[in-house]
Chains A and B, each alone.
Chain A
Amino acid sequence: MRPIEIPTFQPRMKVLNREQALAIHTAALEILEKTGIKMEHPTVLEALAGEGCRVSGRDWVKIPAYLAEEALHSAPRQIALYDQQGNKSMPLTHENPFYGTGSDATFTFDMETGERRRSVLSDVANYARLVDGLENIAFCMSMANPVDVPVIEDIYLQVFAEMVKNTNKPIVFIADSGKDIARIYEIACLVAGGEELLQQKPFLLNYSEAISPLRFPQNVMERLIFCAEKKLPICLPSGSNAGGGSPVTLAGAMALGIAENLAGLVIHQLFGKGSPFLFGPNVSVLDMKSTVVSYGCPEWSLTQAALADMRDELYGLPIWAFAGASDAKVMDAQAGAESMFSIITAMLSRCNLIHDVGFLEYGSTSSLEMVTMANELVAMSRFFVGGIPVNDNTLALDAIERVASGEPGSIFLMDDHTFEHFMEAQFLPTLLDRSRYDSWEQSGALDMYGRCNKEAKKILATHQVNAKSDVVLEEIDRLLRR
């Protein structure tokens, strides 16, 4: 009889028990029922009233709990994002973490001069191509809020086109209103080969935000309705940052953010039952000295891990998260520490779509080197989360026997078992440097920043992005000129 295989435990983090999860959920429902939300879109307000919500004043509306529970049931439990060539590359089910960049950084570090300067459109292209060439960075966001777009109202359309031209990975995009999102959608249809194909194999997800506390502006609702109707995946995290948009205590901040998300979900499902909605607020903290919203704090990692627990206990919907960012002003030791902290914890708690990789200075500045470093940190984390497979082969009693009883000089390094398994048995870093001092010195004595800078340059110089067809490219340019 063959021995029973021992399943491998994959390290997993939990931060809430069921009682805590339920209590936060109940609080969120109470916020919707008793406090209500400010709805600034008249059609949505009417629709909510029609569903049994209580409207008071001009735009205040209270949402009964059962509507939230219903919406949670009708929203799909898995969202699959495809790459732009139609391959399923991001199945967002509950065990799968995917990392990607962030959106509108005002500044960037120039790869050549090392100088912090205002972002331009060609930066969007560089980030997209870098992401395309990095194995562990699954999706692309703009990473820039470029100064040099010809028409500022079209900024999100422009950066979207730039991303499409420079990567085939899935794209998470920003839009301003119902107008530019419709044009972005046109480009997406071109890339996918038509509306139907796009709906079947969506390669994009819209990142919109409600305004904490409890405010739902007109233009945000236009985007939400657009996505619901077109079955375009969307997330609607509000900025319920502890002490800023929400209470300073994390439980209250989560309850408020979740209430806002549930309200968004209710509306979304009203306008497109069964359309995909990625769940989750952004719950970081407002730093009480600098008054910045932190992108490197343990609190944000903690609240999203808690949300992952709530997903497992209650919601079942894939979640939105952040990692790989920092409040450091340059890519220094702080940047390394903070980005690794959020990367590993996001993976240990199985967050799903994890954005903001590569941000410095609390989201103001982007860094190609940070993204490149994160690629390796994600690999390192993956290795860790893979756990320790225990079986005859990995216990390697035969190898031990051979070496122990072998001739003098027989060593593990020489044994076939080592040759056959070292690749998967060990994590083999490429940027994290383990070389001996002398060879490190001989190869230029570069620190982590220097090595990442070199690697990013190399990828940008050599990586080939599968180009879109000329027809598609021409159509996109025509659309941009319109």
Chain B
Amino acid sequence: MAEFNALTESVIKGDIKSAVAETQKALETGQDIQSIIDDGLIRAMDDVGERFSKGQIFVPQMLRSAKTMQECMKLIQPHFKEGDVKAKGKVVIGTVKGDLHDIGKNLVSMMLEGAGFTIIDLGVDVNPEAFVEKVKETEADIMGMSALLSTTMPAMRHTIDALKEAGIRDQVKVMIGGAPVTDDFAREIKADAYAPDAGSAVIQTKKLLGLS
């Protein structure tokens, strides 16, 4: 692991240039790809996540680290061989029908991406059918819904109903969030998880997928 210390440090600092250089070096010296990702990049992001939850760093710093990691991933991707890298999980996310708030949802997407998940963002004002279709099409592991208005919270229930009707409720975990949403509400509509903020959304996602 020690060989990735410089890479980890650069990602934590959000120094894109040196992180990319370190990744390049690791690739050139024939390091194992899964190991670059796990012991270099993800280890860095775990550290960043922890610092953030302790209030030691701020959101822009965390997002900069996530961006740094993504730049490194771009370099690594062409080297993927079939079966080489375990995909961590796919998340279809959107703000529910009637709701146009998207800053929270975008932040959650960014953080999940930073933690190594694949994000399919449907945007805002997403109707239940569109959620269902995308979940089917992408075989997503998680469906994330955001609602900032109490008037649009019922749309979360409707979307879950639509999943049931399409017969795919069992194939996807549902995670919800947004200012008026509560843990109780999540239980009431039988969502699988609720998270009050972006940091906890990452933790919940990992839990749902048995990654922690």
Contacts and interface: CB of A to CB of B under 8 A. Distances in A.
B107 interface: yes
Nearest to A218: B125
User: What DSSP secondary structure best describes chain B's contact surface?
Assistant: helix
Interface string A148-187: 0000110100000000000000000000100000000000
Interface in A227-251: 243-245, 248
Contacts of B149: 104, 145
Interface in A281-296: 286, 288-291
A288 B60 contact: yes
B100 A155 contact: no
Which bucket holds chain A's interface residue count? 20 to 34
A290 B196 CA distance: 10
A136 interface: no
Interface in B101-134: 103-104, 107
B145 to A, nearest CB: 17
Nearest to B106: A244
A472 B201 CA distance: 50
B59 A152 contact: no
B122 to A, nearest CB: 16
User: What DSSP secondary structure best describes chain A's contact surface?
Assistant: loop
Given A106-B150, A291-B59, A244 B103 contact: yes
Contacts of B60: 243, 248, 288
B151 A145 contact: yes
B157 to A, nearest CB: 12
B107 A289 contact: no
Given A152-B151, A286-B103, A290-B197, A364 B179 contact: yes
Nearest to A215: B100
Which bucket holds chain B's interface residue count? 10 to 19
A243 B103 CA distance: 10
B54 to A, nearest CB: 10
B154 A152 contact: yes
Nearest to A241: B103
A176 B198 CA distance: 28
Nearest to B52: A289
Interface in B61-115: 100, 103-104, 107
Contacts of A288: 58-60
Contacts of B150: 104, 106, 145, 147
Contacts of B179: 106, 364
Given A244-B103, A286-B103, A364-B179, A291 B154 contact: no
Interface in B30-73: 55, 58-60
Contacts of A211: 100
A298 interface: no
Contact of A155 (B59, B107, B151, B198): B151
Interface in A72-126: 104, 106
A145 B147 CA distance: 14
A113 to B, nearest CB: 18
A302 to B, nearest CB: 20
Nearest to A156: B151
Contacts of B107: 291
Contacts of A104: 149-150
B195 to A, nearest CB: 12
A291 B55 contact: no
Interface string A422-445: 000000000000000000000000
A364 B149 CA distance: 11
Nearest to B150: A145
Contacts of B104: 291
Contact of A106 (B55, B103, B180, B198): B180
A217 interface: yes
Contacts of B154: 152
A334 to B, nearest CB: 17
Contact of B198 (A153, A245, A291): A291
Nearest to B100: A211
Most buried by A among B60, B103, B150, B154: B150
A245 B58 contact: no
Contacts of B100: 211, 215, 217
B128 to A, nearest CB: 16
B14 to A, nearest CB: 14
A289 B198 CA distance: 11
Given A147-B150, A152-B151, A155-B151, A289 B55 contact: yes
25 contacts: A104-B149, A104-B150, A106-B150, A106-B179, A145-B149, A145-B180, A147-B150, A152-B151, A152-B154, A153-B151, A176-B151, A211-B100, A215-B100, A217-B100, A248-B60, A288-B58, A288-B59, A288-B60, A289-B55, A290-B197, A291-B107, A291-B197, A291-B198, A364-B179, A364-B180
Given A152-B151, A153-B151, A288-B58, 5 more contacts: A104-B149, A145-B151, A145-B180, A244-B103, A245-B103
The 7 closest A-B pairs by CB, nearest first: A288-B58, A106-B180, A145-B150, A288-B59, A244-B103, A211-B100, A152-B151
